[in-house]
Amino acid sequence: MSARILVVEDEEALSALLEYNLSKEGFTVSLSADGEDALITVEEEKPDLVLLDWMLPSLSGIEICRRIRARAETREIPVIMLTARGEEDDRIRGLDTGADDYLTKPFSVPELTARVRAVLRRARPTISGEVATFGDLTLDRETRRVRRGSREVHLGPTEFRLLDCLMQRPGRVFSREQLLDLVWGHDVYVEARTVDVHVGRLRKAINRRGERDPIRTVRAAGYALDETYAS
Ligand code: CA
């Protein structure tokens, strides 16, 4: 599972360049050229990071950032602001408004990806590293091994991706539809019920010894990792 980045940029050439390079680096990229549209996308897709241009036609980048920060559901999403040279005061205002970092145009691709990774690492320590942990659960993306305490847990590929997805955002409730998109992919037609079957298999594997279930079923909403479990 790769981090999902929303690029909000009205300059088509730059947004195409960003999409190309970030995808090549393994990120999943969505594009938006307009402020109102960007806010809807942030709300619906809950990206892992927003790359936000300062100068946009309808809403300014600063206003978009302010609105992202104002809503409880989107508050934690990291934002990197893209500014033009000579907007120093604005830059500082940008950080005041809650941007996590800024990049001055023109920037190099390595500079961009380094900043993106650094901000992702700070925001969600589990997402960019190879090993994610939650309570006594450990998931290693490189070796594809999962452990519960000292016990090795054997998971099928779908259960592995499902757990990886939940572990990236402990506490966040994922709907069945979101899990279908994130774990199975947008283009695959699978019934929502299939998610329940695989969550059942995942639970069986990780709770095999009768340990406490770290997965919470949220009625009529979906599934989440129980935050009270890890604390
Ligand atoms: Ca612009």
What domains lie within the chain, and their CATH numbers?
A: 4-125 (3.40.50.2300), 130-230 (1.10.10.10)
**123 alpha carbon to ligand 1 midpoint, in Å?**
26
- Collect residues with CB below 5 Å from ion ligand 1: 10, 53, 55
Query: pLDDT tens-digit profile of 105-114?
Result: 888 989 999 9
Helix, strand, coil shares of the chain, percent, nearest 5, are 45, 20, 35
**97 alpha carbon to ligand 1 midpoint, in Å?**
18
Query: Above 80 in pLDDT, residue 92?
Result: no
**34 alpha carbon to ligand 1 midpoint, in Å?**
10
**55 alpha carbon to ligand 1 midpoint, in Å?**
4
The torsion defined by the Cα of 62, 65, 66 and 67, in degrees rounded to 10, comes to 130
Query: pLDDT tens-digit profile of 121-154?
Result: 777 655 556 788 898 999 998 788 999 999 999 9
pLDDT bucket at 189, cuts 50 / 70 / 90: confident
CA distance 73 to 164: 21
**11 alpha carbon to ligand 1 midpoint, in Å?**
6
CA distance 49 to 4: 7
Residue 221's identity, in one-letter code, is A
Handedness of CA 92, 94, 95, 101 (dihedral sign): negative
CB count in 10 Å sphere of residue 127: 19
